[in-house]
Amino acid sequence: MTHNVGITAFGAYLPKLRLDRASIAASHAWAMPGLKGQGKGERTMADWDEDSITMAVEAARDCLQDTDRSTITGAQLASTTLPFADRLNVGVVAAGLNLGRNITSMDVSGSQRAGTSGLIAALRGSGDGVMLFMVADTRKAAPASINEFQFGHGAAALTLGVDGVIANFLGSNTVTADFVDHFRGSGQDEDYGWEQRWIRDEGYMKIIPEVVSGLLDSTGVGAGDIDHFVMPCTIGRVPAGVTKALGIKPEAIRDTMAANVGDTGAAHAILMLAHALEDAKPGEKILLVQFGQGADALLFEVTDAITSLPKRPGVSGAIARGRTEKEYMKYLSFQDQVKIDFGMRAEVDNKTALTTEYRKKDMITGFMGGQCSQCGTVQYPRTLYCVNPNCKAHETQEPISFADTPAAVMSYTADWLSYSPSPPYYYGQVQFENGGRVMMGFTDIDPDDIAVGKSLKMVFRIKDFDKQRGYRRYFWKAAPAS
């Protein structure tokens, strides 16, 4: 029997911090008073220890919560802000997720269509096993630019396969055109954009109808049959203009989440798709479109299986957990767009011993501890000897994951003397439900909401930077569970 390939699960991640746009406008009012009108709502803002890799891990964890990870046969990460120019970024993600070694893997980049183009390729190659497809972006924007108000940071993840499909893949169409609406040169940190009217009239209003019409013709689906129209766009009224030109009903237009998330770049189309899947009903059709040096269009039909998909936080949960940040200078510091003198305590050489990192990667990146096969004692790190003084058995440690184990604050310290890019440095003893205890760093901490006994979850984050060599180390940190 032939099975249709499609989406089997979805997940999302947004940073907890939400930069208040009014704070951005107020900071530039002395030079750019005209920006005041942009100061409405919020946009997502990555913490200092977040990047496209860490966000991809968290989106994947949201997606994979009910999936046997041993069934995953491939992993792909799409982004225009990959931390490493020459290192397999998705390899770090796979290690953080404790995926097997015998998986295919690939990074996808190069344009805002990295997410959709990568998804098309992944769907066409998902005949065997389960493909994990992730997309994340943490774009920088020039201070006082419109992009600074419009951009956001975020990630989404999908699993693709032929079993348990919640949205069948009906087909896709692509138009490739070197239409430069914006660009970022090699070695540059920020995008340079062109005039919006030109982008709207020559870009969206001509290229999008072409790519969508071709897809609808090839699949035999009518424009009036589209129930969810997903198209990221920061130019007002363009989605309405496109749907009118195509004959798609206006109520099908999905919210772009501009008011409280912003445009998350290559991730945004897949993030909006995940948001649509949260409330899509069996039989409904979802049209996904992404513009960028041409355009991609993908068509999905929701199946009955979506009603039995286990509930997950998804996009709605990620939006709900936000915390408003009004310190604009903190944002600039986290983006490395302003230099803060943290004194001599910040002057350390963070050279990484790559041999040790590789040998201990399951404990460091995968956060695998050990459980004694004789007495059952759980410990981190895993060592040759059991730490139970009444046991001390030799070479009895079986791997056990700490990453998804609930935990609580046993003790904590807010240290203003140790260096942290976001002082104070919170750390403490964490008690895990499996019996393990680990002294580790905290993140996403609200000073008014930290106490002994507070529930914690583990999150994958940047531990520190080696700016001299352009390397960053990753590890796990404890964050409030809610």
Tens digit of each residue's pLDDT (9 = 90 or more) over 70-89: 999 999 999 999 999 999 99
Q: Looking at residues 448-473, what average pLDDT do you find?
A: 94
Distance CA 457, CA 446 (A): 15
Residues 312-328: tens digit of each pLDDT: 999 999 999 999 999 99
Residue pair 402/476 in contact (Cβ under 8 Å)? The answer is yes
Q: Are 242 and 256 in contact (CB under 8 A)?
A: no
CATH 3.40.47.10 assigned to domain 6-334? The reply is: yes
Q: Where are the domains of the chain?
A: 6-334, 344-367+402-480
* Mean pLDDT lowest among 119-133, 247-261, 368-382: 119-133
Residue 2: pLDDT band (50, 70, 90) is very low
Instruction: Give the bridge partners for 183, in sequence order.
Output: 192
Query: From CA 248, how far away is CA 231, in angstroms rounded?
Result: 13
Q: What is the 3-state secondary structure (H, E, C) of the chain?
A: CCCCCEEEEEEEECCCEEEEHHHHHHHHCCCCHHHHHHCCCEEECCCCCCCHHHHHHHHHHHHCCCCCHHHEEEEEEECCCCCCCCCCHHHHHHHHCCCCCCCEEEEECCCCCHHHHHHHHHHHCCCCCEEEEEEEECCECCCCCHHHHHECCEEEEEEEECCCCCEEEEEEEEEECCCCCEECCCCCCECEECCHHHHHHHHHHHHHHHHHHHHHHHHCCCHHHCCEEECCCCCCCHHHHHHHHHCCCHHHECCCCCCCCCECHHHHHHHHHHHHHHHCCCCCEEEEEEECCEEEEEEEEECHHHHHCCCCCHHHHHHHCCEEECCHHHHHHHCCCCCCCCCHHHCCCCCCCHHHHHHCHHHHCCCEEEEECCCCCEECCCCCECCCCCCCCECCEEEEECCCCCEEECCCEEECCCCCCCCCEEEEEEEECCCCEEEEEECCCCCCCCCCCCEEEEEEEEEEEECCCCEEEEEEEEEECC
> What's the average model confidence in pLDDT over 83-106?
96
- Average pLDDT over the chain reads 95
Nearest to 421, CA basis, from 370, 345, 364, 482: 345
Predicted confidence at residue 3, as pLDDT, reads 64
Residues with Cβ < 8 Å from 92, sequence gap 6 or more?
53, 365, 474
pLDDT of amino acid 1: 34
How far is 112 from 266, CA to CA, in rounded Å? 4
Please name the amino acid found at residue 212: V
Task: Determine the pLDDT at residue 24.
Answer: 97
| Model pLDDT, residue 127 | 67
| Tokens 């363009």, located at residue | 238
Q: What's residue 356's pLDDT?
A: 92
Res 196 pLDDT > 70: yes
> Contact, 141 vs 148, CB < 8 A?
yes
**In whole angstroms, what is the distance from residue 159 CA to residue 62 CA?**
11
- Which residues are CB-neighbours of 7 under 8 A, at least 6 positions away? 158, 159, 160, 165, 166, 167, 169, 277, 300
Domain 344-367+402-480 in CATH 2.40.50? The answer is: yes
Instruction: Read off the pTM.
Output: 0.96
